[in-house]
Structure 1
Amino acid sequence: MGEPVTVHRRAATPSRARSAVIGAWLAFYVDLFDIYLPIVALAPAMAYFLSPTLGTGATALATGAIFAATLLGRPVGAFIFGRFADTVGRRRTTLVAVTGAGVATLLMALLPGYQAWNAFALVAFVALRFVGGIFLGGEYTAANPLAMESSPPGKRGFYGGLINSGFPLANASVSLITLLLLTVLPAGDLDSAYVQWGWRIPFVFGALLSFGLVLYYRKSVAESEIFTKATTVKAPIRTLFSRPNLPSFLQVLLLMTGFWLSLQPVTAALPALLRGEVGGLSDTETTLVLAVSFILLAPAQIASGVISQRIGRRRFLVATGVLIAVVAAAVHVVLVQLAPAGFVATFVLTALLILLVIGPWGVLPSYINERFRTGVRASGYGLAYSLAVVLPSFYAFYQAGLATVLPFAYTGVVLVVAGGLLVLIGGAWGPETRDVDMGGSTD
């Protein structure tokens, strides 16, 4: 792949760039806040939506279906809203997507449970998660390109890391809100306060965050000047899947598959291990460990963006692949082998694992947007970022298959290694993009 052209155009005014970056940060925060609601906030109240006769395996599959529904809806949203963002505009598309996500989350908070609707309660929840995922996919598909197009070239790494820090802070927020609610409203049997209505509070809060973001965006965020000055591509999706854009898309898709594959064992599977035989922690201790770890992750992601600005995106990504495949995997093995290691040791190892695997994500908002031309940037960013999550979303099935040949606690290590290797290959495949002209050709 040829090196991008290094031409610096006049960036948006500082205030305009700042508003766009804040808007993108809020959109990412709202997106991830919503994603982790069922994993963290609903988990202690899952009995509300499930038949009391379900076994452990069926319950785990139901929980996985809820999580997967959102992730699978995101590529659909990227496809739909990416096209609109590349033709109608980034700002208008963001407003529609955020509004839809807020409505979907609010409807989830109002759902009755198994006692009232039987199995349809779970079906309705999964369906709303899928619809919500579509709108969430539109949020970052439009908001992040707008922010990167508004940023000065020398600050894209920093601003990208700042935007991505909304991810760990959202996770920590959901964890802390849930921890507070469980302290006041302990989750017990089906009739306990948290199971009946306490879980709804974080969902209502998530919906209010979306509506607040709509108000901020309408008042403070202007359309990208690069987009308004560019020639609109009539069929951005078709153009994206044609040369010269297709190789860039495939490279980013491979890279992001690696990032998502290494992420799943750490965000989705690790909490259960910490509560089980590996960590031996209580629900409260597990929530506290994860919340603090994700708070520490926010500055790490900002640092990742800054480092990539100094040493180059390509070199940073190649080094990241090695760190994940070797160092992070080794930390995961130690965490399992020392089980139960006690609260302090478990916390240190968990935090280190999370920092190694998820810390480098701070480079992604700048790098992925730099890989695509203006006319297909939103579609390319959204689809490459979202489609890559499809195969890793079935992590639970991969772990179940691996568990036939090695202890289950070690199955996550295999996924971390595989993900790291894909990041290494994907990063090495692509060119350096640090100095790319964001207002270049819209072919």
Structure 2
Amino acid sequence: MCRNDAVEWAMTNSGETVERERESAEFAGKRRAAIRGAFFAEFVDMFDIYLPTVILTPALMYFQPAQMSPGQAGIFTSLVFATTLIGRPVGAAVFGALADRIGRRKTTIASVTGFGVITLLIALVPGYTTIGIASYWLLIALRFLDGICLGGGYTGALPLAMEYSPKHKRGLLGGIILAAFPLAYIAINLVGLVCFALFPLAGPDSPYAVWGWRVPFVLGALLAFVLAVYYVRTVSESEIWEQSEKKSFPLRSVFTGASGRSFLQVFTMMTGFWLTQNLVTLFLPTTVLRTTLKLTSTQLTLTLLAAYACLVVSYIASGIIGQRIGRRRFFVILGPLIATVGSVLLGVLVTGEELPLGVIVLLVCVFSVLVTAPWGVVLPYINERFHTDVRASGFGLGFSASVIIPSFYAFFLGGLSEFMPYVLGSVVLLAIGGLLGAAGAAAGPETRDVDFTRNN
């Protein structure tokens, strides 16, 4: 090779190296933006979900007639939460299919903007004294629409983030993204404490009941709008999705062939883990801590804040462990641990009326970390179970539709109360949930080595 040829070769090779480095840096930037977006999307999603539980429940009297019986009030209160729950699987189906057809990014922007607008509208709903019982039905209708959009928010954002994640880091990043859930719970409770302190609550005409509860809803809407702008300006579409073959009816494909078998397996596993999760997030605070152990509102809030702070760390740790030992093995080991150790811990709590507060806090933290550990691993696992052309639909429905049966846990407890004390029925349900989750995972393959670039 002559000197001129050598120089030309060196310059060409150097240019190619620079170009590769530039492309690598550009891809890394897209990856960071997608992962940040997914974390923020999970945070905003969970913040909005907890708004009725933490913020609106004390003010529901504002939407009710004064002469309403306790039974009627209980039914109306449950409708506010049930409609959101029903809306989420509907949203996962609708927006999941859109995410597989038109793209994860566009779908995320549409759904996030939707629940931002609806959350803002909820903040403007007038009370019973203004428009009568129509105020309650309007609130319920808006929460149903909100649930649909919330079900679509993570359906696009989370698969997009996983498709940008390196295979060997999907466990860690999945745990970090899902850690936004306990962070959102902590944030909404802190916001609630501030609002309760600033706006007195004393009947349907008190400052909090009339307008104090609206402030967190406006905040939730603003967070959604910020998230939508972030996706418009910063997040790029999934390159893996762009290179994949698009199906005309991705939703139908989820229920047929290999995808149908994957969905059934994921649905079984997640039904078990949703059942155990509901016992932590719903049954534990209300029936166990407030009714059985008779914690004051302050003690209850501080106990739950401590537990959810532990979950931020444990979700990330679970993601790392699942990446190291395998996600299937993690679930298969953890399910029986939930059914045995978790059941013992819950049994101590439901029968421990004389336990000191410090022991209660410790038991709740350990119990919550153990029982909710699967959630640090489910994000990458479910995405890895579906091909790119149906991944958003499969993830959205596998994650959301499986919550429906466990949501009736109170009815299951009522049936079990025919044979045992009501609170001990929760121990039986926890064992069933843990074993069902493990059995569902055992029916599927290991997924940590799935290569999305070859899985189109």
TM-score between the two structures when normalised by the length of structure 1: 0.94
Q: Is this contact kept in 2: 1:78–1:383, CA < 8 A?
A: yes
Bigger Cα displacement from structure 2, 56-65 vs 422-431: 56-65
Cα RMSD after superposing both structures: 1.7
| Partner residue of 1:395 out of 393, 396, 409 | 409
In structure 1, what is the equivalent of residue 13 of structure 2? none
User: In structure 2, the residue corresponding to 1:277 is in which secondary structure?
Assistant: helix
Alignment match of 2:95 (pick from 81, 106, 127)? 81
Greater RCO, CA 8 A, separation 6+: 1
- Check if 1:198 corresponds to 2:212: yes
Given that 2:86 and 2:144 are in contact with CA atoms closer than 8 Å, whether structure 1 keeps it comes out as: yes
- Give the match for residue 3 of structure 2: none
Question: What's the counterpart of residue 54 of structure 1?
Answer: 68
**Aligned amino acid, residue 209 of structure 1:** L
Instruction: Tell me the distance in 2 between the aligned counterparts of 1:333 and 1:171.
Output: 25
Counterpart of 1:37?
A: 51
Match of 1:147 in 2: 161
Structure 1, unpaired ranges of 5+ = 1-9
**Aligned partner letter, 2:103:** G
Q: 1:232 aligns with which of 216, 232, 246?
A: 246
User: 2-side partners of 1:369 and 1:362: how far apart?
Assistant: 13
- Contact kept? 1:146, 1:223, Cα under 8 Å: yes
The one-character-per-residue Cα deviations of 1:125-152 (angstroms, maximum 9, x if unpaired) are 1111110111111111111110000000
Equivalent-residue separation in structure 1 for 2:116 and 2:424 (angstroms)? 38
Q: Which residue of 2 aligns with 1:182?
A: 196
Q: Which residue of 2 aligns with 1:25?
A: 39
Q: Aligned-pair distance for 1:441?
A: 4.1
Cα distance, 1:179 vs. partner? 1.5
Match of 2:83 in 1: 69
Q: Which moved more, 1:188-197 or 1:241-250?
A: 188-197
Say if 1:374 and 1:440, in contact at 8 Å, map to a contact too. no
The answer on whether the counterparts of 1:260 and 1:388 sit within 8 Å (CA) in structure 2 is: yes
Q: TM-score under structure 2 normalisation? A: 0.91
Deviates more, 1:90-99 or 1:113-122: 113-122
Partner of 1:7: none
Q: Match of 2:257, SS? A: coil
Partner of 1:4: none
- What residue number does 1:3 align with? none
**8 Å Cα contact 1:274-1:286 kept in structure 2:** no
Q: How far apart are residue 350 of structure 1 and its match?
A: 1.7
Q: Which moved more, 1:156-165 or 1:404-413?
A: 404-413
Tell me whether 1:161 sits opposite 2:196 in the alignment.
Answer: no
The residue aligned with 1:214 is 228
List gaps (5 residues or longer) in structure 2: 1-23
Kindly indicate whether the alpha-carbon contact (under 8 Å) linking 1:314 and 1:431 is maintained by their aligned counterparts in 2.
Answer: yes
- Tell me whether 396-405 or 355-364 shows the greater mean CA deviation: 396-405
Partner of 1:6: none
Larger radius of gyration: 2
1:337 aligned to which of 351, 356, 376: 351
Verify: 1:437 aligned to 2:451, yes or no: yes
Q: Which runs of 4+ in 1 moved over 4 A?
A: none
* SS of equivalent residue, structure 1 residue 245: helix
- 1:413 CA displacement: 2.3
- Matching residue of 2:267: 253
Give the letter aligned to residue 331 of structure 2.
L
Q: In the alignment, is the contact (CA less than 8 A) between 2:288 and 2:349 conserved in 1?
A: no
* CA distance in 2 between partners of 1:188 and 1:360 (Å): 41
Q: Is the 8 A contact 1:329 1:416 kept in 2?
A: yes
Comparing 238-247 with 381-390, greater Cα deviation is found at: 238-247
Matched with 1:130 is 144
Distance 1:198 1:145 in 2: 36
1:344-359 aligned at under 5 Å gives the runs 344-359=358-373
CA distance in 1, matches of 2:115, 2:354: 40
Contact 1:11 1:151 in 2 (8 A): no
> Residues of 2 paired with 1:404 and 1:63: CA distance?
26
Distance 1:275 1:56 in 2: 22
Evaluate the alpha carbon distance shift between residue 44 and residue 215 of structure 1 in structure 2; reply closer, same or farther with a 3 A threshold.
Answer: same
Secondary structure, aligned partner of 2:453: coil
Instruction: Name the one with the larger helix percent.
Output: 2
Q: Cα–Cα, structure 1 residues 427 and 275, in superposed 2: closer, same or farther, change >3 Å?
A: closer
Residues 175, 288 of structure 1: 8 Å contact kept: no
